[in-house]
Chains A and B, each alone.
Chain A
């Protein structure tokens, strides 16, 4: 009985986290299309609901009532599993994101590693989808996407190490609290820029949306998907983008901390700050989608391996020696 009560309690907490995330994913899709429209001097979705806010819900309703078509030559189990994996991984990572000092589902010691691990698992949904479709365009798209995600993860990892050197802890809460005096975006600004661009590549957003390059690959790994399964891929993708924005704001923009800790500004509650920062990063994502042309594949790989990786390594050495020389290395709690 007691066990059931604990379980119920946890489920209630998880729902309390997941439902806002799914709703905000819907809103963020709307925001994305709105920003995109504004940049191109269009109106964007503005018909359903006030300002078109309910557009995504209408879309979702449409997807639910569509038929799910499974190709005859597809590997059915893997085909169905792929969007589920994508969606689950995108949502599971949110368990460790601290919205404020108390508001976090599970405050684990290796939070940042957990985030990194989950985001590196994200490749599987795409490879599985592309392979199981048993068709050439999805497979090509999946391979491109996997290669891209694996190579940009390397530089994201090194950027994370950069931040960890300054913090001295893998706990996300400690990472935010260490930025009380100075957000890491200031001393580590080049790393922030590289992180942002790598995040674009990691989530397959333009200008790195080669896996879905519609002119060459139809629609990449999701070509054969229809109805709700396509919608799950799409929701997972946006949840991932949101996750990357949250990660960026925790690592570099000081998480839930206000800009300056003085009276009129610091009465704004912490979650609001967190959400504002995530929205700011997402706004950048959306604007970049509208204004930057797509990269060519070899350029993308060159950027990842020959520019970002060496640069972040050099910056890592620089950070370490700077901290060591000025005796600013975090002492840790042991």
Chain B
């Protein structure tokens, strides 16, 4: 439904439904922590941003050039990418093998520790390096995004709380004698 629906907004809503279903699947196989995190991160934050972007774009115009326009440049590239992904999927799924002791080892792990604890035990001991690296990469991309969009504009009125609070009557109020038929220059 995400790719077949004609309206962009509808496909984003179906994408959200997809995310929710993934979360539900995680919960059903017993990984409740992961399921909840997917709900919070993907549905609660990422998909909201998707929705924003799609709502802001001029959807009607997009439809014109994508579906009705005769010369579509998207189709060949799209075909190449999708064929590549299909091949990769075939390679991965074709070579898929379960570990021999999968059942025994997973039942061993699922004893009576909640999977939040399990995750923490693995993540902060064996995989601490990768965990920290992922964090650093996220931080870098965040800073990068801010840097790319940041520009200092002149002539923007800003409120400075410190200046506002530290004003006092003696420096901000001034009495002036105004001569007849002559103005007063206030700003200097």
Q: Chain B: interface residue count, which band?
A: 20 to 34
Provide the B83-106 mask, 1 if CB < 8 A to any CB of A, else 0: 000000000000000000000000
Q: Which residues of A contact B (CB under 8 A)?
A: 75, 78, 108-110, 113-114, 116-117, 120-121, 123-124, 127, 131, 139, 143, 146, 150, 153, 157, 170, 298, 332-334
Which B residues are in CB contact (< 8 Å) with A109?
32, 114, 116
Interface SS majority for chain A: helix
> Does B52 belong to the interface (CB within 8 Å)?
yes
What are 20 A-B residue pairs whose CB atoms fall within 8 Å in the complex?
A75-B9, A109-B114, A110-B32, A110-B33, A113-B40, A117-B39, A117-B40, A120-B39, A120-B43, A123-B48, A124-B16, A127-B51, A127-B55, A146-B48, A150-B45, A153-B45, A170-B114, A170-B116, A334-B113, A334-B121
Interface residues of B in 31-65 (CB under 8 A from A): 32-33, 36-37, 39-40, 43-45, 48, 51-52, 55
Q: Is the CB of B9 within 8 A of A131?
A: yes
- Which residues of chain B are near A75, meaning CB under 8 Å? 9
| Chain A residues with CB below 8 A from B113, complex form | 333-334
Q: Is the interface of B mostly helix, strand, loop or mixed?
A: helix
Question: A117-B39, A121-B39, A127-B48 provided; 5 other pairs, C-beta below 8 A?
Answer: A78-B13, A110-B36, A113-B37, A116-B40, A170-B33
Chain A-chain B contacts (Cβ-Cβ < 8 Å), number = 61
Interface flag for B71 (CB, 8 Å)? no
**B117 an interface residue at 8 Å Cβ cutoff?**
yes
Closest B residue, CB atoms, query A77: B10
- Assess A108 versus B39: contact at CB under 8 Å? Given A78-B13, A146-B48: no
Q: Is the CB of B40 within 8 A of A120?
A: yes
